Chains A and B, each alone.
Chain A
């Protein structure tokens, strides 16, 4: 079996795969950054006492969490043009990943924040710290510790989910596998290579998360 495995063709297609890898990394980095920002904002709205921003945030989070990502991608891909918005595939895909992950990240951050004991906040208030100082010195350092592992998990999910963008013809890693398959009909080689590159991304992300967790957990307050 392994004798049949054609390594030569993998090398022949390597430039294509590297383009795909670059594209997937680009999509991941941009989507993760945007999703983090979306998640932080959505979470801030979600825990706010102001109903006018709290309920829209709840609606957004629940809609995203109750529907499949592929449906969300198609919804944007086919739906935006009917609203008269012509958005290229890549941007549509990034938007979908951002909105999807943002909702999950919002809930992850909220869990981290609510895990910090209210009494400590009162102690902070009583000693004159303002809202942002309480967030910065009391809540966030403790919330980060419990938030990083699930956040890492969510980012890994996002990278793997980005494979779905191949279905709206974004030229990323999985799409490269499909291209090679259709040109040469060697799906085993194609998707072996694709899987290998996803694993590389995974281990890089994991190393990054381990490092940041060591750096951030119980970081000194000043």
Chain B
């Protein structure tokens, strides 16, 4: 479903993605972890072309993402993206946040978009907040709205960039629960996170990155309990003591 072929990316002289080869199949849940600055965000941001790549190819559902003839709108409609800092639109209500893309990108009728939006809000447990403004919600609630916003386009793939890193500890659980629910629906997911519990519970595969390279991949249990490389072992001991 998602395929990286020899992908390379530079920010100026900095080689952020170094010969990335990766295949993610339909329904797979991939957790990406690694130290700060290792290129995790950049990797998933390339999947919906929030970042350009300089070499190699990324293919999503048989579409070459970085081809200049690719219909980006259509591509991005299949991919939901959840940011660390939520990035809700503060001047719109929760419902308007969630409805914006279906109405304007998919050109759905307002009534239909509203129906889908309310379904998704129910899925994240926030139906009663639909007329609130983002500033009136807690961080955890805002992130759940952001997830609902990503889901209203009925994407086949959901990308998460450290969805719980900006949250107070007591709110992390509610967001992870929503994500676990998505997994049980068979959603294809790439999640940048250091939440080991989440990874062990639902991930099919863990990918460890360092300095722009994929250093190690494995099942969550193998990776966290018996890391093959020293760098991964060192990283895991750091997040455990953290």
Contact = CB atoms under 8 A, between A and B. Distances in A.
B235 interface: no
A142 interface: yes
B100 A129 contact: yes
A130 to B, nearest CB: 7
Q: How large is the interface on A (under 10, 10 to 19, 20 to 34, 35 or more residues)?
A: 20 to 34
A3 interface: no
Interface string A173-212: 0000000000000000000000000000000000000000
A130 B77 CA distance: 12
Nearest to B149: A127
A137 B100 CA distance: 8
Interface string B86-109: 011111100010011101110000
Interface in A120-157: 120, 122-130, 133, 137-138, 141-142, 145
Interface in B72-95: 72-74, 76-77, 79-81, 83, 85, 87-92
B101 A129 contact: yes
Interface stretch (A25-33, A53-61, A163-171, A214-222): A214-222
Q: How large is the interface on B (under 10, 10 to 19, 20 to 34, 35 or more residues)?
A: 20 to 34
Given A122-B87, A142-B91, A222-B103, A130 B81 contact: no
B228 interface: no
Contact of B110 (A123, A137, A219, A222): A222
B48 interface: yes
Given A126-B76, A222-B110, A137 B81 contact: no
B90 A129 contact: no
Contacts of B73: 128, 130
Q: Which interface residue of A124, A126, A130 has the most chain B CB atoms within 10 A? A: A126
Interface of A: 117, 119-120, 122-130, 133, 137-138, 141-142, 145, 218-222
